[in-house]
Structures are given as structure tokens and as C-alpha cells.
């Protein structure tokens, strides 16, 4: 009979979490084809349609476009951050509830020596991988359009996506894990994701909004990501405001992570 052991030591938790790797690799190998289009063609089409073609009609001076000398340069970083958000919404809603409710996969995972926090961390790891691969593709697609002013900027934008993604992933995971029925997703898709997508500075400068809406848009997580990505792409880095954005996203990720573990643990204890 096979004897299973629990590794100890400072990195014991990591090696336990690692046991979930095979699960996620298997899932990815079965589904990656479906995401090839979404992660490659969609950004390209959006950049061409909005940035190049619609942008051709926009002759706004850089001062009114957050420092971008063309609409293409303005909108492309916004689209990158928006893509990260949409990807994370997709990965942390239906799949999470599905694993709880329909396929009962979490229940079978925690019936092994794995614990809830490891299950959550492993899935966040998978989502991080999805964000990274989608972001790399997007950044490569945008580079020929001259969107990045420097290699460092492109690299920085890549890491910002990871942080922005986690800031969305952890609280939504917590929400999904507590949800009884999938109807609750419609609410967050339509009341959170789409308004953020459309009004958090991805498509037009926030000052085009009315003063009240502008203030609301400034406190959305997506704006933090959009502004960071844009500053890095354009080379208009402003340390004080960047630090505020970064701190915001780090706090949200950590608090959300704590909530996610608590939420899933409560759900599985039922």
C-alpha cells in the first residue's frame, strides 16, 4: 500500500500546494485551444479597430490624452489592463462555482491531505499563469504598433497585470465561493465589470466624465491598473501616484486572498 507523507519545514506548504499542479496542467491541456483566439486575436482586433481605425478620427493633443501623442498609444495600455480584468472575471466566477457545486472537485481535493488554503493558492497560481500568458501575447501584439516607449516599460506593464489580476481574482473568488446560484454572476458582470471596462479610463480620459463620475472612476481597481500600465507604456512614470496605485492593489490582493480562503473554507464545511 502506498504511504503518503506530509512534508514539513518552511517550504512544506509549497510542496503540498505543488501537488495540485497536475490537476491544473490537465485542465489547461484540455482547454488551451479555446483560449488561443481570445488571448491573441481579440487584443489584436481591438487594438486595430479602436486604436488604429477609430484613432484615425481622433486628433486630440497629448495634453488631453494623459500624455499620449495618439489615441492608439492612449487606448492600447487601457485595453491591456481591461483584458486582465475580464480574464480574471472569467476565471474566478463560473469555474469556481462549478468546482464547488456542479463538479464537486474542491470537496474531493480537500478529502486528501490538501487544505483549503492550498487549494485556493494553487488556483490563484493557475490564474496568474493565465494572466501572464495572455499579457505576454498582448504585449507582443502591441509592440509593432510602437505602444511601448521602452523595454523596461513593457516589462513593468507585464508585472502590473499580474498584480492587477490578483487584486481582482482574490475578492471575486471569495464572492463566488459564497454564492448559491450562478445568477449572482450576472450582477457582478453587469454592475461591476462592464461599467469598469467602459468608464475606468481605458477608452477615454477620466476628465471627460462628469466630476462625480470621475471621482468614482478614480477609486475603481481597474483605474489603478490602467493608469499604471499607461504610465509605464508611455514613459510618463509619476512615482507618488504610482505608489498609491500599487499600495491599493497590494492591499486588495492580500485582503481578498484572506477572504477567499475563509469563504471557501466556510462553503466546504457545510
Partner 1 sequence: MSIAGAALVDAAGRRMGVTRSTGVLLGRHLTVFSRNWTFFVTGFAEPVLYLLSIGVGVGKLIPSFDVGGHTIAYAAFVAPGMLAASAMNGAVMDATFNVFFRLKYQKLYDQILATPLTTGDVARSEITWALLRGGVYSAGFLVVMSLFGLIHSWWALLALPAALLIGFAFGAVGMALTTFMKSWQDFEYITLSTVPMFLFSATFFPASTFPTWLQWVIDVTPLYRGVVLCRELTTGQVTWGSGISLVYLIVLGCLGMVLVGKRLERLLLT
Enumerate binding residues for partner 1 (CB under 8 A): 31, 33-34, 37-38, 41-42, 45-46, 48-50, 53-54, 56-58, 60, 64-65, 71, 183, 186-187, 190-191, 194-195, 198-199, 203-204, 208-209
Contact 93, 176 (CB under 8 A): yes
Considering the complex, what minimum distance in angstroms separates the CB of residue 81 from partner 1?
Answer: 15
Shortest gap between Cβ of 145 and partner 1 (angstroms)? 16
- Closest to partner 1 by CB, 16 vs 73, is 73
For partner 1, the closer CB: 108 or 208? 208
Distances (CA, A) of 23 to 17, 106, 184, 204, 261: 11, 11, 27, 41, 19
- CA quadruple 109, 131, 82, 216: dihedral, nearest 10: 60
Check if the beta carbon of residue 168 is closer than 8 Å to that of residue 91: no
**Integer Cα distance of 4 and 242 in angstroms:** 47
Shortest distance (Å) from residue 9 CB to partner 1: 41
Nearer to partner 1, 120 or 141 (CB): 141
Distance from C-alpha of 248 to C-alpha of 244, rounded to nearest angstrom = 6
Give 218 or 262: the residue with its C-beta nearer to partner 1.
Answer: 218
Q: For residue 61, give the 3-state DSSP assignment.
A: coil
| Cβ 204 to partner 1 shortest distance, Å | 4
Neighbours of 250 (CB within 10 A): 13
Q: Burial, 34: exposed, middle or buried (Cβ in 10 Å; 0-12, 13-18, 19+)?
A: exposed
Minimum gap (Å) between residue 126 Cβ and partner 1: 17
Dist CA 177 CA 191 (whole Å): 19
Residue number with CB closer to partner 1 (45 or 243): 45
Tell which residue, 242, 227, 209, has the closest CA to residue 68.
227
Q: Which is nearer to partner 1, 15 or 69 (CB)?
A: 69
Nearest to 70 by CA among 177, 230, 270, 247: 230
Q: How far is the CB of 38 from partner 1 (least distance, A)?
A: 7
Nearest-angstrom CA–CA distance, 72 and 234: 11
**Which C-beta is closer to partner 1: that of 194 or that of 251?**
194
Closest distance to partner 1 from the beta carbon of 226 (Å):
13
Amino acid at each position: 500500500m502506498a504511504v503518503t507523507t506530509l512534508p514539513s519545514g518552511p517550504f512544506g506548504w509549497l510542496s503540498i500546494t505543488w501537488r495540485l499542479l497536475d490537476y491544473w496542467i490537465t485542465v489547461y491541456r484540455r482547454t488551451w485551444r479555446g483560449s488561443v483566439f481570445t488571448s491573441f486575436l481579440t487584443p489584436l482586433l481591438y487594438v486595430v479597430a479602436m486604436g488604429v481605425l477609430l484613432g484615425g478620427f481622433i486628433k486630440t493633443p497629448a495634453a488631453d490624452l494623459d500624455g499620449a501623442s495618439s489615441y492608439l498609444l492612449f487606448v492600447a495600455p487601457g485595453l491591456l489592463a481591461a483584458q486582465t480584468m475580464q480574464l480574471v472575471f472569467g476565471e474566478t466566477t463560473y469555474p469556481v462555482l462549478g468546482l464547488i457545486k456542479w463538479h464537486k472537485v474542491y470537496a474531493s481535493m480537500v478529502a486528501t491531505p490538501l487544505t483549503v488554503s492550498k487549494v485556493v493558492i494553487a488556483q490563484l497560481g493557475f490564474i496568474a499563469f493565465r494572466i501572464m500568458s495572455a499579457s505576454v501575447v498582448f504585449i507582443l501584439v502591441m509592440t509593432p504598433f510602437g505602444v511601448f516607449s521602452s523595454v523596461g516599460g513593457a516589462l513593468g506593464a507585464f508585472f502590473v497585470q499580474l498584480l492587477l489580476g490578483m487584486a481582482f481574482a482574490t475578492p471575486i473568488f471569495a464572492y463566488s465561493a459564497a454564492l448559491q446560484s450562478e445568477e449572482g454572476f450576472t450582477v457582478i458582470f453587469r454592475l461591476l465589470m462592464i461599467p469598469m471596462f467602459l468608464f475606468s479610463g481605458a477608452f477615454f480620459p477620466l476628465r471627460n466624465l462628469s466630476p462625480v463620475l470621475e471621482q468614482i472612476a478614480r477609486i475603481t481597481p481597474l483605474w489603478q491598473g490602467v493608469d499604471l500600465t499607461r504610465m509605464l507604456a508611455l514613459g510618463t512614470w509619476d512615482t507618488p501616484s504610482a505608489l498609491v496605485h500599487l499600495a491599493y492593489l497590494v492591499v486588495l490582493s492580500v485582503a481578498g486572498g484572506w477572504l477567499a480562503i475563509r469563504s471557501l473554507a466556510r462553503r466546504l464545511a457545510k
